[in-house]
């Protein structure tokens, strides 16, 4: 759920309450799902679209990019990158998009993640 978008000086913050995390262990097929509040923070960023969206709103997915990598419907944890960064997210029940261009991006997590369930294929 996209809870808030803040533009502070040249920083754009997109807050998710909660975000859903999928954790995997190296060498294991088992995965677990967790929830945690996070913020994607775009440094020297500009909000190109999305400033008029009524929040909170569901996120239907999209792209977060940093330098040559584009992450579709997910972001790696940890995430901290300098260079070209962008974001293009869909909003549930709307054709509106959240679009951001920036010179860096990092992810901030709040508190400890909370376990939800084991995922089985």
pLDDT, tens only, 50-96: 988 999 999 999 999 999 999 999 999 999 999 999 999 999 999 99
pLDDT at 103: 97
Residue count of the chain, please give it. Answer: 121
* Separation CA 14–CA 7 (nearest Å): 9
pTM over the 0.85 mark: yes
pLDDT at 28: 81
Query: Could you tell me where the DSSP H helices lie in 13-76?
Result: none
* Model confidence at 120: pLDDT above 90: no
């Amino acid at each position: 759920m996209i809870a808030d978008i803040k533009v502070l000086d040249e920083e754009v913050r997109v807050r998710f309450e909660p975000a859903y995390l999928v954790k995997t262990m190296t060498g294991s097929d088992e995965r677990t799902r967790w929830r945690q509040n996070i913020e994607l923070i775009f440094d020297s960023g500009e909000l190109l679209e999305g400033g008029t969206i009524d929040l909170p709103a569901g996120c239907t997915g999209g792209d977060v990019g940093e330098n040559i990598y584009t992450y579709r419907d997910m972001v790696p944890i940890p995430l901290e990158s300098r260079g070209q960064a962008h974001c293009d997210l869909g909003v549930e029940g709307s054709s509106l998009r959240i679009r951001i261009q920036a010179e860096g991006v990092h992810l901030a997590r709040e508190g400890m993640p909370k376990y939800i369930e084991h995922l089985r294929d």
